[in-house]
Every structure is written in structure tokens, then in C-alpha cells.
Amino acid sequence: MSDTPGLVIDVDRDRCCGSGNCASVLPEIFSQDDGGRVVLCEPQPAAASRNAVLEAVMLCPVRAITLRQAPEPG
Amino acid sequence: MTPPSYPMPRTEPLNVPPGLAEVAARGPVSRVQLWDGGEAWLVTGWQEARAVLADNRFSAALRHPGYPHVRPGFRGTRVASAAAPGAGGPTLLRMDPPEHDVLRRMLTGFFTVRRTAAMRPAIEAWTDECLDAMQAKGPPADIIETLATPLPSLVLCELLGIPVAERAYFEQLAAGYMAYGATQRQVIGVLRRMTDYLDDLVTRKESDPGDDIIGSLIRDYASAGLLSRTDLLGMVRLLLVAGHETTANMLGLSLAALLADRDAWDGLCADPGAIAAAVEELLRFHTIAQTGLCRVAVEDIEVGGELIHAGEGVIVSVEAANRDPGAFADPDVMSLHRGARHHLSFSFGIHQCLGQALARLELEVALARTMRRYPSLRVADGAGQVAFGHDRMIYGVHRLEVAW
């Protein structure tokens, strides 16, 4: 078990411009609907995906992906 | 002191202009002088470039008096719709929200990662056809003429639903539009011919719109009154020019750069799995948008310690930002295993390249198929076998005679 609380991903589909960067970098977490807008498949990524998630956040050209800490359990 | 003039000349064909590094060394945002004696801000820092491109208070519209026109011929297009009837309206690259967003959303579904990946077998087949034509012609043969130019055209013909027989005509128009030294009269002339051609193309497709992009736009939007003829023609013009000139030049430049570095070429031939990462580095290192991305501040905004006033022109130098040591370690070294995707070669913000997944795929497939079939490919013997496109808005290679 990791001591650090996990991350929760939020996506803003209204901001999304359909660049597809997130779906390219992390297809198991991000997808696109038929119109190209982001679809969040896994809002709470495994700790091992942390760096790739941070990359997806950085690559989003319209900052439609944000992160917050998961609430402490219990 | 007069600021340095922009754009700056290259001294080495496979490297950025040394003058750009001098300007970047002064700070991430500084002043440059344009061809007409006017001045603009040049953004050279990676962080600052992202900040400008992602901030909609920097307008991309040509109508602002302070818009920084980097080439003489482009001044004319600002007034084209009024002074030159028939030259067409602005494309979505030169629109701001909310108009821009409405049009872009009509297109994003055609360029998803999923739809793009599904094109791989077709792109492989077209690449092989192009290489067959090169085989029949040489050695030596010009790989720009036989592969780098036709491949993106074949992809566009399929996507847009344009007869392949018409590709030579639109390639010629796209090249004319991108000529840096074109006069105002020439640019307007090219725009008129392109608008006439696209208007005729759309008319031909109206009676039987297919599932391609033009057919879908006609059926889903134009026929329902949701998309004007001017905007439809502008969208198709953008897809043709942006989809062709960029990919063709980037492919030509990639081939030239790799053939100029035998170890790099041989290394990728031996390890094709590394080609996708190499494409990212080629995109970063050999940035083709050599005249920058232009904006106008619509409010006073501070960027990189400089106060940019409302109405002032801003040019984002993607070339310089891609060499920012704060964003890329040893930025002046082409390191094919770097695998850094955060370069700005596809821009940033709402105007970021719609077809970036497709461009990456075309580059990867074309390089991989060429290397597999011709591991011993080399630049043909003799002088003048490589001609670089210094005279274009989009940098690239005009001619690359190869032997095998």
C-alpha cells in the first residue's frame, strides 16, 4: 500500500478541443467520443500511471484535464 | 536600437537560424522588426509560448490592424474579402471563439486517435505504391516527387473525397499559396483559383455526398443551414493546405535529416520500433513552421516579464520554443530516443493541429516502409541533389535525389 493518497482526474468536456493527446498517451484512461471529445474511462489511475497522467495533463492544449488528491479513506 | 529583423535567414539547412538563438538569449519575449518596418513581440520561451497560444485574449484574427504580417504578400489577404472578391473568407485558423469552436467541432470527429489508427493499412499501401513508382523511375529518383508529395495528397483525397486525378492541381495551388516571396497580387490570384476550384468541387459533390469529410459537412451541416458556403470552402481550403504542405515538407525534411546522419538512419533501420519516438524528435528539432504563429493582444497582458499592450502583434517562434533549454535538455542535439511529445510543432491552445495523430502516423509509416525496403538508401552522387525550401512559409525540401 502506498502512503500517498491517490490522484483523481477531472475532465472538462466543454473545454476539450479534441486534440487527442490524452487518448494517445494513456488509452486505458482517456478515450474520445465519436465527435472527438474526451471520455474519461478511469478517474482514479493506479499509482504506477502517475507520470503518464502528469504528461497527459501537460500535453492538453486547452487545460481540460485537472488533478486533485483523492479524499483520505475512512 | 533597432530590433533584429524577423524572420531570420538560416546559415545551415538542417538547423535553426543563428539569429534566433541570439534573440532567445535576450529573454523569452523580445522585440523584432518586420519587413515593413513595423515591430512585433517575438516569443521564444517554451513556457511563454504555451501561455500565449493557450490564452484566448491573444486573437488569431487577421482583421486587427496590429496583426504581424511576416510576409509582404500576406498583407493583401487581410483585405481580401473586401478588396478582392472571390478570394474566400478566413479559415478557422484565423478565427477566435465562439465562431472558431463551432467550426472546429464539425471536424474533430474525423481526426480522432481511433479513426486515424484505422487508416494505417491504407497509408501503408499508398506508401508502397509510391515506393513502387520510385523504383520504376530510378535510381536515382527524387523521393520528394515520388513519396513525400504524393503520400499526403493520397491521404487527403481519401479523407476529403477528392478525385486522385485532381491532386496535381491542388498541390500546385497549395505550393503557390505558401511561397514566401509571393506578391499580394499573386496571393490573391492563388486564393481565387483555389476558391473557384473548391466551389466547383463542392458543387459536384452536392448531388451525391459520400461519407468523406466534404460529403459529411454538406449533408450534416451545410444542407441544414448550419454552415455557410464561405465557411465550408474555408474549411476545405485549410484542410488541403495544412494537411498537405506540412506533412509533405516534414516528411521530406525528415528523410533529408536522417540521410545526412548515417548512424541515425542505420540505427532506425535496425530498430524500427524506435521510429515513432524518432518522429517526435524530428518534429521538435526540424520545426517546419519557420515564420512563427501570429497573434494580436486584445487586452494588456504580461508575458515573460514584458507587458504586451492591447493591439500589439505577437509572433510565437515555435522553432525557438522547441530549443528552449528549460524545456528540453541539450536542445540543440537531435536525440532520436528523446521521445518528448511536449514540443510545440503542432502549436498549443485551441488551434492545435487537428490532424496531428494523422501526421504522426503518415511520418512513421512512410519512414518505416522506406527503411525496410531501402536500408541502403543514400543521397545520389553529384552536386545539387538536395534543395531546401528557404523560400516557403513552411520549411522543407523541394528536391531530394536518392539512390539505392
Residue B340 near chain A (CB below 8 Å): no
- Whether the per-residue pLDDT at A5 is higher than 70: the answer is no
Q: How confident is the model at residue A41, as a pLDDT?
A: 97
Distance CA A1, CA A11 (A): 27
Which residue, among B190, B298, B289, B184, has the nearest Cα to B246 in the 3D structure?
B289
Q: How confident is the model at residue B383, as a pLDDT?
A: 86
Residue B345 near chain A (CB below 8 Å): no
Partner-chain contact B109 A36, CB within 8 Å:
yes
Which residue, among B104, B86, B87, B82, has the nearest Cα to B95 in the 3D structure?
B104
Partner-chain contact B111 A55, CB within 8 Å:
no
pLDDT band at B72 (very low <50, low <70, confident <90, very high): confident
Q: How confident is the model at residue B227, as a pLDDT?
A: 96
pLDDT tens for B272-300 read 999 999 999 999 999 999 889 999 999 99
Give me the residue from A36, A59, A62 closest to B112, CB to CB: A36
For residue B382, what are the β-bridge partners? Answer: none
Q: What is the mean pLDDT of residues B109-131?
A: 98
Give me the residue from A20, A59, A61 closest to B113, CB to CB: A20
Cell of B277: 519516438
Which residue, among B318, B346, B302, B345, has the nearest Cα to B44 in the 3D structure?
B318
Partner-chain contact B347 A34, CB within 8 Å:
no
Chain A neighbors of B284, CB-CB under 8 A: none
Q: What is the mean pLDDT of residues B117-137?
A: 98
Q: Which residues contact B391 (CB under 8 A, 6 or more apart)?
A: B179, B180, B181
Q: What is the mean pLDDT of residues B376-395?
A: 91
Total length of chain A? 74
Residue B120 near chain A (CB below 8 Å): no
Q: If you count residue pairs, one on A and one on B, with CB atoms under 8 Å apart, how many are there? A: 63
pLDDT band at B80 (very low <50, low <70, confident <90, very high): very low
Does this complex have an ipTM over 0.85?
A: yes
Q: What is the mean pLDDT of residues B349-363?
A: 97
Q: Which of B58, B93, B108 best probes binding to A when mutated, by most A CB atoms within 10 angstroms?
A: B108
pLDDT tens for B308-329 read 999 999 999 999 999 999 999 9
Q: Which residues contact B190 (CB under 8 A, 6 or more apart)?
A: B173, B176, B177, B182
Q: How confident is the model at residue A71, as a pLDDT?
A: 82
Partner-chain contact A19 B112, CB within 8 Å:
no
Taking the CA of residue A2 and the nearest CA in chain B, the distance in Å comes to 28
- B104: nearest CA partner in chain A: A17
Chain A neighbors of B54, CB-CB under 8 A: 61-63
3-state helix, strand, coil in chain A (%, to 5): 25, 20, 55
Give me the residue from A23, A37, A63 closest to B54, CB to CB: A63
Beta-carbon neighbour count of residue B262 at 10 Å? Answer: 10
Distance CA B362, CA B348 (A): 21
- Whether the per-residue pLDDT at B242 is higher than 90: the answer is no
Q: How confident is the model at residue B299, as a pLDDT?
A: 98
Q: What is the mean pLDDT of residues B375-394?
A: 91
Q: What is the mean pLDDT of residues B63-73?
A: 84
Q: How confident is the model at residue B184, as a pLDDT?
A: 76
- Whether the per-residue pLDDT at A39 is higher than 60: the answer is yes
Please indicate whether residue A4 or residue A58 has the higher confidence score (pLDDT): A58
- A58: nearest CA partner in chain B: B342
Which residue, among B234, B299, B245, has the nearest Cα to B80 in the 3D structure?
B234
High-pLDDT (> 70) share of chain B, %: 97
Distance CA B287, CA B394 (A): 9
Chain B neighbors of A57, CB-CB under 8 A: none
- Whether the per-residue pLDDT at A4 is higher than 70: the answer is no
Q: Which of A12, A13, A15, A19 best probes binding to B when mutated, by most B CB atoms within 10 angstroms?
A: A19
- A26: nearest CA partner in chain B: B113
Q: What is the mean pLDDT of residues A28-34?
A: 97
Residue indicated by cell numbers 534573440? B23
- Whether the per-residue pLDDT at B132 is higher than 90: the answer is yes
- Whether the per-residue pLDDT at B141 is higher than 60: the answer is yes
- Whether the per-residue pLDDT at B60 is higher than 60: the answer is yes
pLDDT band at B82 (very low <50, low <70, confident <90, very high): very low
Q: How confident is the model at residue B79, as a pLDDT?
A: 47
Q: How confident is the model at residue B7, as a pLDDT?
A: 92
For residue B68, what are the β-bridge partners? Answer: none
Partner-chain contact B108 A58, CB within 8 Å:
no
Give me the residue from B53, B109, B342 closest to A34, CB to CB: B109
pLDDT band at B85 (very low <50, low <70, confident <90, very high): low
| Alpha-carbon radius of gyration of chain B | 21
Q: What is the mean pLDDT of residues B22-46?
A: 95
Give me the residue from B54, B112, B349 closest to A20, CB to CB: B112
Q: What is the mean pLDDT of residues B180-188?
A: 79
Distance CA B240, CA B243 (A): 5
Instruction: Please say whether the beta carbons of B331 and B325 come within 8 A.
Output: yes
- Whether the per-residue pLDDT at A64 is higher than 60: the answer is yes
pLDDT tens for B191-202 read 889 999 999 999
Residue B347 near chain A (CB below 8 Å): yes
High-pLDDT (> 90) share of chain B, %: 79
Q: What is the mean pLDDT of residues B366-386?
A: 96
Partner-chain contact A23 B113, CB within 8 Å:
yes
Q: Which of A14, A17, A29 best probes binding to B when mutated, by most B CB atoms within 10 angstroms?
A: A17
Give me the residue from A18, A19, A59 closest to B342, CB to CB: A59
- Whether the per-residue pLDDT at B16 is higher than 70: the answer is yes
Instruction: Please say whether the beta carbons of B184 and B73 come within 8 A.
Output: yes
Q: Which residue numbers of A have CB closer than 8 Å to B's CBs?
A: 17-21, 23-25, 27, 31-32, 34-37, 55, 58-59, 61-63
